[in-house]
Every structure is written in structure tokens, then in C-alpha cells.
Amino acid sequence: MKINYKKYLLAVGSILLLGSCSNDFLDHTPTEFISEDAATADTDALYLAINGIHRSMYIRYENQGETGVGGVMQQMDIAGEDLVYTASNGWYGTVYNWTAPSNDNSQEIRFPYRTFYQIIRNANAIINNADAASGPQEDKNITKGQALLYRAFSHYQLVQIYAKRYVNGVSNSQDGIPLILNTVDIVGRSSVEDVYSQINADIDEAIVLLAGYKKPNNSHLDLPVAYGLKARVNLTQGNWAIAADNAAKARVGKSLMSIAQYTAGFNDYTNPEWMWGSDVVEVQTAYFANFGAYMSRNFSSTVIRACPKAINSKLYNQIPTTDVRAAIFSKTGEHPGITLDPAAKKFPYTSQKFLSVSTADSRCDIPYMRIAEMYLIEAEAKARLGAADAAKILFDLVQKRNPAYVLSTSTGQTLIDEILFQRRIELWGEGFRFFDLKRTNATLDRTGANHNSTLVGGVLTVPPTDKRWQWLIPRAEINANPLIKQNEL
């Protein structure tokens, strides 16, 4: 066995060399993600980031019922008195019976909190990096302006849910919510006053940045949306003049929808009256976590078949029969003219305001802001100011819904009550009722209507002094944020 070992050592040496890895053997670039730096590096990326926020309005969050902002809208109506469960139903059941607000472990109180702070994080990344990004100034303004509106909108939703109401004319030093202005700091609760100041400041900055912006579709936020949000916020604050002024500006050049459009199912974000909404395309469907999987009449989901949502019968019976808004609810529950699943249970007063694509496709566009609301804000604010044209503004809206409507001769509180009634029937199902009750310091009153006392867990009335109007800060925040303070348990 005389072998030239050198030969083999050489062979081994070369294998060893081959075996050593190149320098970048341990470097990999993901295919599902892009780096955070790239996400705000230029205006193209800023548009991706702002569209990501638009999308996050209608994705599923944790539980199936957490249908993005449309899910929070449902919660806000379900907690009120105008939306009625016709049968036992687990989805948002603890919001309906008001046990969730006092349960810090409740997924229902975690959902809006987590959702809006996620949106705020994405908005802050744009707001704080847009100026340094490369690209045209105009595009920086458009994306930053929209991000500011998202931050304002999210803080505004949160402060209404988790803090004590804003009272006009006093120093609102009560605990608000964490005011998050960057993606790094962990902070405690700012006062309600400070939160509203920041919300207004963000909107004001957006109004400057979005001047002249022509948006490609209604999922984007433009100047009218900024004015609309400003109006909404100031209505809550009781700043009537600012609210009226911005509401008027918001609807400049826009028209209300026709009676025919009104009964078409509230599912088309190109509707002339819609200012801001989401459109769900087929490949972006969240299936059972679409808004229409809960709020439409026709989709065949368990919750809709077993427990279609109804309007408060006491409220419905006040709607004149000549009013188109009487036509979007079925007093008999039979819904002639609409295709329902054969197994769908029928109950009186159920809503067909929202219709999904079909019984098997739950997609339904989601309205976040409509011109009608602007009329209602302006009318209410002016009525509260005692302005003479308040009734006329109301008339301009209502006669488009009810041709038989005549100009109201009421004044003072009577007129305000009439406007609030119109608000209830116009904005039913669009996420306003809990906020309206809270801002007007009103009692929740579900009595005398079609609410089942067992399904509401005995919660038929809740006075404005009740601590459940302030939903508890979620346990997960308490556990991880040493600066946070819980609401009264």
C-alpha cells in the first residue's frame, strides 16, 4: 500500500476550501417584508405605507368579529339603544349587555384599543419621516396629511371610548388616553384636554398639507374629510361654531344621494354622498370578518341567519312612512325583494340598510363619513347656537329622504331633539350612537322597545353617571405600561 498521500491531502484541502462558506452565506433578505427604513425612504414608499393604513381599516384583527374599524362601529351601535339583537348571539354579546366595559380582560375592550394604536403607529412612521423622504414635496404633503388625519381620528375614537366625556367650558383635566406621537416612547395618559388639543392640531396641519389634493378614490382622505373630522371632533367638544363652520366647508360641492341610491344597500363607496369609505375587492376579502358578515341582512352567516340586527321599534315607529329610511328596515321582517338564505330566521324591524354582495359573499363597502352627517352636525351646532338657519339645513337633508317633509318650525331644545332624532335614523348602524349618548350626557334607555331583557342582561337603562361609560383600559396595557392608570373599576 504505497500511496502518495500528498495527493490525497491536496484533495482534502480542496474539499475543505469548497466547504468554507462565502461571506454572505449568513445574510438573507426576506421576501415577505421590507425593511423599516425602506418603508419611509421615499414618497413611493410613503404611498405604500398610507395605503397600508387604508387597508388596516378593513382587515380582521384578532377574533373573527374584529372586522377592522367597521367592527368598532358595530360595537358603538350595539352598546346603544337603537340597534337590537333579535335573538341570542355571542358576537359582541358582552358589549350589548355592557359587561365588557367593566372587564379588563375582555377582548371587546382590547380590540378598539389595540386597533387604533396600531393605526397610530403606522401613521407616526409617516408623519415623522415624510419630511426626510426623497421625492416631490406634494407627495410628502399628501401622505403626511392623511397620516395626521389617521392619528387624529384614532386618538379621537380612543378618547371617546376610554376617557370621561369632554365638557365644554371647563378644564378637562380628567385622564384621557396615552397620546402617542412617535413609534418609540411608552407614555401614560394625557388629560382629555391635551388629547383634544393634539387632535385639533393634527387636523389643522393636515388641512394645510392636503389643500388641492385630488384623491383617486374614497379610501383616501382629502380636505373635505379633514374638515368633516374637524367638525365631528368639535361637535363632541361643544365648540358649536367651529363644528358648524367645518361641516359646511366639508360638504362644499357635494350632493346627497337619491332615494333610489338610498335603498341600494350602502355598499358602494363611489356613492356621491360618501366622503370616506373602504372598498373590499375579492382577493382582499376577510370572509367572515367582513363588515357585511355581521351588518348586512342578506349574507348567510350564522349570526345573520340566527340573529339579524333590528332597529329599535320605538324609534322605527316614529319614522314617517313616506321617509325612505323607513324602507331600509322591514317592519314584518319578511324583506320582500331581497334574496335571503332559506334558513334565515325572520324577526320584525330587521335592517336591510347594508347588503353584501350575495348570500355567499360577505363583502360590503364600509362608510366612515358621509355628507349627511355634515348636514346634521351643522344643523345641530347652529341650533345649539340659536342660529336662524339651523332648521333650513336640516330641511335640506331630510327633504331628500322624505319628499313630504316640511320645514320645521321648532326652535331651541325641540329643534335640537328633532335633529338628534334625524341623526339616529340617518346614521343607524354607522357607529355613532354610543358616542352621541356620551357626548350629550344622555341616559341609555332601551325600555319600551323590542329589546329582550334577558339578551341585554337586564341592562335596559344606564344613567350618564355610570362608570361603564368609560371602558376599562385593557389588561395587556396595564401589565406592560407602568405609566398607565386604570379607570374606576
In whole angstroms, the minimum distance from the beta carbon of 51 to another protein comes to 4
Using the rule CB under 8 A, is 27 a contact of another protein? yes
DSSP string, 82-142: SEEESS---TTHHHHTT-GGG-TT-HHHHHHHHHHHHHHHHHHHHHHHTTTSBS-HHHHHH
Using the rule CB under 8 A, is 407 a contact of another protein? no
Judged by CB under 8 A, which of 43, 75, 89, 408 binds another protein?
89
Residue with cell 383634544: 196
Residue with cell 346614521: 427
Rounded to whole angstroms, the Cα distance separating 316 from 328 reads: 10
Judged by CB under 8 A, which of 386, 448, 457, 463 binds another protein?
457
CA end-to-end distance (rounded Å), the chain: 89
Residue 440 or residue 468: which is nearer to another protein going by CB?
Answer: 468
Judged by CB under 8 A, which of 284, 318, 447, 461 binds another protein?
284
Residue 310 bridge partners (DSSP): 84, 350
Using the rule CB under 8 A, is 306 a contact of another protein? yes
Map residue 485 onto helix, strand or coil.
Answer: coil
Using the rule CB under 8 A, is 270 a contact of another protein? no
Residue 358 or residue 440: which is nearer to another protein going by CB?
Answer: 358
Judged by CB under 8 A, which of 2, 3, 406, 409 binds another protein?
3
Judged by CB under 8 A, which of 48, 167, 259, 387 binds another protein?
48
**Cell numbers found for residue 333:** 321582517
Site for another protein in 113-152 (CB under 8 A): 113-114, 117-122, 124-125
Strands 309-311 and 366-370: unpaired
In whole angstroms, the minimum distance from the beta carbon of 481 to another protein comes to 4
Judged by CB under 8 A, which of 157, 172, 267, 301 binds another protein?
301
Using the rule CB under 8 A, is 10 a contact of another protein? no
Residue 81 or residue 477: which is nearer to another protein going by CB?
Answer: 477
Judged by CB under 8 A, which of 282, 388, 409, 465 binds another protein?
282
Rounded to whole angstroms, the Cα distance separating 230 from 248 reads: 11
Please, are residues 451 and 411 in contact by the beta-carbon 8 Å criterion? no
Residue with cell 476550501: 17
Residue with cell 379588563: 104
Using the rule CB under 8 A, is 463 a contact of another protein? no
In whole angstroms, the minimum distance from the beta carbon of 32 to another protein comes to 5
Site for another protein in 157-216 (CB under 8 A): 177-178, 180, 183, 186-187, 216
Site for another protein in 228-267 (CB under 8 A): none
CA distances from 358 to 141, 265, 289, 294, 447 (A): 39, 11, 15, 13, 35
Rounded to whole angstroms, the Cα distance separating 83 from 431 reads: 10
Site for another protein in 335-374 (CB under 8 A): 341, 343, 345, 358-361
Map residue 306 onto helix, strand or coil.
Answer: helix
CB neighbours of residue 141 within 10 Å: 19
Using the rule CB under 8 A, is 97 a contact of another protein? yes
In whole angstroms, the minimum distance from the beta carbon of 52 to another protein comes to 4
Using the rule CB under 8 A, is 107 a contact of another protein? no
Backbone angles phi, psi at 303, to 5 degrees: -65, -40
Judged by CB under 8 A, which of 107, 174, 263, 481 binds another protein?
481
In angstroms and rounded to an integer, the radius of gyration of the C-alpha atoms of the chain is: 26
In whole angstroms, the minimum distance from the beta carbon of 30 to another protein comes to 5
Taking CA 451 as the corner, what is the angle to CA 445 and CA 453, rounded to the nearest 5 degrees?
A: 90
Map residue 220 onto helix, strand or coil.
Answer: coil
The span of 107-115, 242-250, 347-355, 422-430 binding another protein (CB under 8 A) equals 107-115
Judged by CB under 8 A, which of 4, 5, 131, 337 binds another protein?
5
Please, are residues 297 and 355 in contact by the beta-carbon 8 Å criterion? yes
Judged by CB under 8 A, which of 43, 53, 140, 248 binds another protein?
53
DSSP string, 334-368: --TTS---TT----TTEE-SB--SSSS-----EEE
Using the rule CB under 8 A, is 2 a contact of another protein? no
Judged by CB under 8 A, which of 10, 90, 134, 414 binds another protein?
90
Site for another protein in 57-76 (CB under 8 A): 59
Judged by CB under 8 A, which of 74, 300, 356, 470 binds another protein?
300
Residue 25 or residue 170: which is nearer to another protein going by CB?
Answer: 25
